Amino acid sequence: MVRVKRGFVARRRRKKILKRAKGFRRTVRTQIRRAKTAVYHAMQHSTRDRRTKKRTMRRLWTTRVNAAARDLGMKYSELIARLKKANIKLDRKILADLAINDPSAFAKIISTVKNL
């Protein structure tokens, strides 16, 4: 059989893995065997944490809206229920943004909902 020299293909494959391992600690970024396992685990964590991030952000928005609503004399659950009743379709992300960056607009929303 003819000898197959795999220099280019193998090097390209290894360089791809080492490129992903850039910024890792010690020999993990330079040794292909260690880099391969580290990159594999890093990819698993990133896949899992993309889903976790959505949960965490929603919890943060809920907490912010609750804090801002309580300052204006209303509980979070009351606010959400009254928003649905008034057919005001603002999600938690927008409400949290308004509560932090535009408190007067958030206060107007609360006063509108309180009058129901």
Mean pLDDT over the full length of the chain: 94
What CATH number should be reported for the domain whose range is 8-114?
1.10.1900.20
- The span from the CA of 114 to the CA of 90, in Å, is 16
Q: Which residue has the tokens 């390209």?
A: 12
Mean pLDDT for 55-64 is 97
The pLDDT confidence band at residue 55, using thresholds 50, 70 and 90, is very high
- The span from the CA of 46 to the CA of 54, in Å, is 13
Model confidence, pTM: 0.76
56 touches 78 (CB < 8 A)? no
- Given a cut of 90, whether residue 3 has pLDDT beyond it is no
What is the phi/psi pair of residue 73, to 5°?
85, 35
Q: Which residue has the tokens 């698993």?
A: 44
- Given a cut of 90, whether residue 56 has pLDDT beyond it is yes
Q: For 60-116, write each residue's pLDDT tens digit.
A: 999 999 999 999 999 999 999 999 999 999 999 999 999 999 999 999 999 999 887
- Residue boundaries of the structural domains of the chain: 8-114
Instruction: Write the secondary structure of 58-71 as one string of H (helix), E (strand) and C (coil).
Output: HHHHHHHHHHHHHH
